[in-house]
Structure 1
Amino acid sequence: MSAPPRDPKRWLVLVAVTLAFLPVVIDMTVLHVVIPTLTQSLGASGTEVLWIIDIYPLLMAGLLVPMGTLADRVGNRKVLLSGLAIFAFASVAAAFSTSAAMLIGARILLAFGGSMIVPCVLGIIRRTFEDADERAVALGLWGTIGSAGAALGPLAGGGLLQHFWWGSVFLINVPLMLVVAPACYFLLPRKEATTPGKWAFGQALLLIAGMISLVYAIKAGFGGSKPLAIILPILAFGIAMLALFTRTQLRSDNPMLDLTLFSRPAIVAGIIMALVATAALSGVELTLAQELQYVIGKTPLEAGIFMIPIMVAAAIGGPIAGWLSNTFGLRRVATLSLLLAAGSLAYLGCADFRAPGFDVPAALAVAGLTLSTGLTASSIAIMGSVEPEKGGAAGSLEGTGYELGSGLGITLFGVFMASVFGRAIEMPPDLALPLAEQARRSIGDTYLVAAQLPGEQGAALIAAGKAAFSAAHVALLSVASAVIAALAISVYVLLARYRPIGGAGH
């Protein structure tokens, strides 16, 4: 049987859909540097600020799979163009929000549009690149956009704030959408092979309710922001909804999501890689930024410059992963990249950031490169294991892994750091108990308490906080290294029989 003809516009299609993906990724991180200014401008409370930040990834985690399966039913082109329109409108609404409630509403719309864009982008790449080797390269370039966008978010937000008001960080999406939407309209084929059957709206509601409840309960539980009396019922509700959704899928003649996808080891391996690698990358970057500023005393700009190696290496890891996978095989590349990532994190745990020399930037670059390679390998494994008409559903599963990894990774890393920090810090003598309890919460609280104390006592508390945070950072990197090493072994086993659909594989 002869291979289907290759689309002569396939690389232009790749450019268009990856650019459509860029604003979605930027919006995941762009608010990190804008929050202080935004809070003052809108008079937002602490609870409102948390919802402004969390509502976007929370809803995305719940909506990605339903939107991906919808795209498989009605076509990626229709859903993608609708998502671009919603995202552009929501960006304008967010930019000109006059209250915290209005901004939260706009962020809900942004999540709705973004959840339509992400699985469609991956589904279109799967349909456009039938050849497995070309698809690996295409997914590598897509991964570069994802890594670069996440790194660009805080930098773009900080740069815009120096010259414009906080809403400008959302308006930057609009010109790009005005270019990308027409390009997608004309480049993407109007006729697509779709999955038969109707999209089950009731099943989608079960999945959305279950995922959002489960993720919220986990984040709130580990973050300690809500009492157990509130968290446990939400957790139970989420588990019940997901159990009912699973039961419905298994019994339905028209299931919304093909659960047999989870019987394919490469897809399971890809989802786990996406979740763990994203969690490690986001968590390590967050704690490293705190170490550089709180312990070593670098300014935010100096800390950003220090972290350039991990950001740049992460951005170029995608295409390198595609080429390496085609040359040496996905199983070897995925396993070796994760083992090298584990080694680099273990080394960073023992390194002296005050005298970095050449070895610390090199280790940071290795960590960024190998974790990014692992993320691209997860895309190749997932998208190479499904037929083109199931690309949207598979892409949504991968996207859910990214969202859960990013959101839960930061939460879990933060809770781990706080726990180790609280036990490691040695309080100066004669410090009042309420102040000591506050100082144990985090190194940020340590600095706040120290500002209220006399000179020598305050300096002693800060010194104790720095020592405790460094100890916690070492423990965190050691645990992250062990987890990724264990993941490498699991991936090696799960990818033993991997053969991509559309190519011979390795």
Structure 2
Amino acid sequence: MNHKWLILILIIFIYLPVSIDATVLHVAVPTLSLELGSTTNELLWIIDIYSLMMAGLLLPMGALGDKIGYKKLAIIGLIIFGIASLGAALAPNSIMLIIFRAVLAIGAAMILPATLAGIRKTFLDESERSSALGVWATVGVCGAAIGPLVGGYLLQHFYWGAVFLINIPIIFIALIATLWVVPKQPQNTQQQWQISKALVLITALLMLIYAIKSGFRADNSILVTFLIGGVGAVILYIFVKQELSAKAPMIDFGLLKIRVLTMGIIMAMTAMISIVGFELLMAQELQLVHGLTPLKAGIFMLPLMLASGFGGPLAGWLVPRLGLRIVATTGIGLSALSFFGLAVCDFMVHPYLAWSMMVLLGLSIGIALLASTTAIMSSAPAEKSASAGAIEGMAYELGAGFGVVIFGMMLSIIFSQNIMIPDAIPTQLAVQATHSINEAFLAANTLDDQILSSHLILAAKNAFIHSHVFVLLTAGVLFSILTVFIWKFLPDRN
């Protein structure tokens, strides 16, 4: 086998666990809630800390790869990813799991640009490089698609930490193969590494998101929440201001002046918010409301992710023929239609209708993501294509992180307003049960009266169904507005 194609196989092998880890926990939310006693806020942090950390670290880690060579970057990233996987698998509580998920993101933020750099420097022929990048993108989509399925299988047959333990043998083999197969890489000692800027950005984002999550809980201090949110906003403002005046900015915010590029970023973030947020909703409803096992829940959700993998190639074929404006508007408009359909659909009574709507949502999200990439990369100046690509990558990761935050908070708010707590429930447990369906189930499990416990569980299920309808209808309305917005501001042809 040609040496460069052997390197591509290795790159795929390295990249697969990173893409799987982005979605593997989506079906684990009910299990983590019961096994670790995680609150709603803790569950949301466990899931979205991975994407949020990656969003801030991708740019500086890419620069680090240029500085030390992608082989060293991959090796360091694999080691960190492996250690963090072991730590996450053995985490005794939610806080430790959040910490190790953050460390996982550090390793992933090194691995992802290392794999892209490996393709760029291994495949010098443009046609071969395009084929290799196509394989890389397909692996990313497939990894994300099978993540819930892998998670569901492992949760059904092993304890929850197995979703992280499976990474370790893969990492071990990948390390040996990287040392053996990948040639020594040249280093660029002149390359700047702006890790301090990345840490400032991450700090600002985490403080703002903490304030958003805490602000909707009655048992949190409003003063502390506003203080943390205010400090985060000030830090973010200073960061943006300094980047705008910097000679060598980490993020070229000047690109946002290009209208088409900005619309592409909005589409990318919106698409990721919707698909990640919907998966979070689905995973909880299928298991906690309808009683499916994690594996069956993963299988039920599979049409959504598989369809998203076909949406990109379909949009790639349509854009040159119909134009970006029509394709992008159609993608977002179909997403709105699918959300309306899913809002009024009972998944168990009409499963084929649910799968049809999920396929439509997956296709439309795939179309929107490809349209966003086209908008960003085609409108950016050629000399700034790398900066535009980096901003797109950040938009994807931020969208994934905000999808968990936005859908999670909306579900929590509507749930707390709709749950009818039985009168005999002790006050402390009643307050806990209003936060989310996961915490309601935890409260029910502590009750000695089984009849009272079953009444509380039934109340929680009914409240979640109300939340499901409201959240998806809201998403449909917002996507409908965005459809009009995109049609108005994108050019006829691009």
TM-score scaled to structure 2, two decimals?
0.80
3-state SS of the aligned residue for 2:380?
Answer: coil
3-state SS of the aligned residue for 2:347?
Answer: coil
**Cα-Cα RMSD:** 4.3
Cα distance change on mapping 1:240 and 1:107 into 2, 3 Å? same
Q: Indicate the residue corresponding to 1:385 in structure 2.
A: 379
Rounded to whole Å, the distance in 1 between the matches of 2:479 and 2:120 is 28
Q: Indicate the residue corresponding to 1:399 in structure 2.
A: 393
**By how many angstroms is 1:150 displaced?**
2.2
Q: Indicate the residue corresponding to 1:256 in structure 2.
A: 250
| 1:493 matches 2:491 | no
Contact 1:124–1:391, Cα closer than 8 Å, also in 2: no
**By how many angstroms is 1:262 displaced?**
0.9
Residue 89 of structure 1, aligned match among 49, 60, 79:
79
Q: Indicate the residue corresponding to 1:502 in structure 2.
A: none
Q: Indicate the residue corresponding to 1:321 in structure 2.
A: 315
Cα distance change on mapping 1:320 and 1:475 into 2, 3 Å? same
Kindly provide the amino acid, as one letter, of the partner of residue 399 in structure 1.
Answer: G
| 1:177 matches 2:167 | no
3-state SS of the aligned residue for 2:340?
Answer: helix
Kindly provide the amino acid, as one letter, of the partner of residue 51 in structure 2.
Answer: P
Residue 146 of structure 1, aligned match among 140, 147, 170:
140
Cα distance change on mapping 1:232 and 1:433 into 2, 3 Å? closer
Task: Spell out the pairing of 1:237-256 with structure 2 (5 A cutoff).
Answer: 237-256=231-250
Kindly provide the amino acid, as one letter, of the partner of residue 487 in structure 1.
Answer: L
Q: Indicate the residue corresponding to 1:366 in structure 2.
A: 360
Rounded to whole Å, the distance in 1 between the matches of 2:307 and 2:73 is 30
Rounded to whole Å, the distance in 2 between the matches of 1:109 and 1:432 is 39
Kindly provide the amino acid, as one letter, of the partner of residue 321 in structure 1.
Answer: A
Cα distance change on mapping 1:362 and 1:117 into 2, 3 Å? same
Q: Indicate the residue corresponding to 2:222 in structure 1.
A: 228
Task: Spell out the pairing of 1:18-57 with structure 2 (5 A cutoff).
Answer: 20-31=14-25, 55-57=49-51
Contact 2:53–2:106, Cα closer than 8 Å, also in 1: yes
Q: Indicate the residue corresponding to 2:287 in structure 1.
A: 293
Kindly provide the amino acid, as one letter, of the partner of residue 81 in structure 1.
Answer: K
**By how many angstroms is 1:223 displaced?**
6.6
| 1:283 matches 2:277 | yes
Q: Indicate the residue corresponding to 1:484 in structure 2.
A: 479
Worse-superposed segment, 222-231 or 477-486: 222-231
**By how many angstroms is 1:402 displaced?**
2.1
Contact 1:424–1:471, Cα closer than 8 Å, also in 2: yes
| CA deviation map 1:186-208 (0-9, x unaligned) | 6x99799x9x9855565455434
| 1:466 matches 2:456 | no
How many residue pairs get matched? 482
Contact 2:27–2:294, Cα closer than 8 Å, also in 1: no
| 1:268 matches 2:262 | yes
Residue 59 of structure 1, aligned match among 49, 53, 57:
53
| CA deviation map 1:195-233 (0-9, x unaligned) | x98555654554344344334443444577853333333
Rounded to whole Å, the distance in 2 between the matches of 1:39 and 1:464 is 18
| CA deviation map 1:279-324 (0-9, x unaligned) | 1111112212222233333333332222222122123323223222
| CA deviation map 1:123-165 (0-9, x unaligned) | 8889989999x97x98776554333222323433454564697
Q: Which runs of 5+ in 2 are unaligned?
A: none
Kindly provide the amino acid, as one letter, of the partner of residue 478 in structure 2.
Answer: V
**By how many angstroms is 1:464 displaced?**
3.4
3-state SS of the aligned residue for 2:291?
Answer: coil
Cα distance change on mapping 1:224 and 1:325 into 2, 3 Å? farther
Cα distance change on mapping 1:228 and 1:172 into 2, 3 Å? farther
Rounded to whole Å, the distance in 2 between the matches of 1:329 and 1:235 is 41
| 1:438 matches 2:438 | no
Cα distance change on mapping 1:376 and 1:146 into 2, 3 Å? farther
Contact 2:153–2:294, Cα closer than 8 Å, also in 1: no
Rounded to whole Å, the distance in 2 between the matches of 1:176 and 1:318 is 31
| CA deviation map 1:458-482 (0-9, x unaligned) | 5444443333221211111100111
**By how many angstroms is 1:178 displaced?**
4.1
Cα distance change on mapping 1:424 and 1:142 into 2, 3 Å? same
Worse-superposed segment, 137-146 or 320-329: 137-146
Cα distance change on mapping 1:311 and 1:177 into 2, 3 Å? same
Cα distance change on mapping 1:491 and 1:66 into 2, 3 Å? farther
Rounded to whole Å, the distance in 1 between the matches of 2:199 and 2:433 is 43
Task: Spell out the pairing of 1:194-205 with structure 2 (5 A cutoff).
Answer: 198=192, 203-205=197-199
TM-score scaled to structure 1, two decimals?
0.78
Residue 335 of structure 2, aligned match among 332, 336, 341:
341
Kindly provide the amino acid, as one letter, of the partner of residue 169 in structure 1.
Answer: I
Kindly provide the amino acid, as one letter, of the partner of residue 357 in structure 2.
Answer: A
Rounded to whole Å, the distance in 1 between the matches of 2:30 and 2:458 is 27
**By how many angstroms is 1:484 displaced?**
1.6
Kindly provide the amino acid, as one letter, of the partner of residue 372 in structure 1.
Answer: G
Worse-superposed segment, 239-248 or 160-169: 160-169
Kindly provide the amino acid, as one letter, of the partner of residue 299 in structure 1.
Answer: T
Rounded to whole Å, the distance in 2 between the matches of 1:413 and 1:291 is 13
Contact 2:213–2:409, Cα closer than 8 Å, also in 1: no
Task: Spell out the pairing of 1:99-118 with structure 2 (5 A cutoff).
Answer: 107-118=101-112
Q: Indicate the residue corresponding to 1:355 in structure 2.
A: 349
Cα distance change on mapping 1:10 and 1:241 into 2, 3 Å? farther
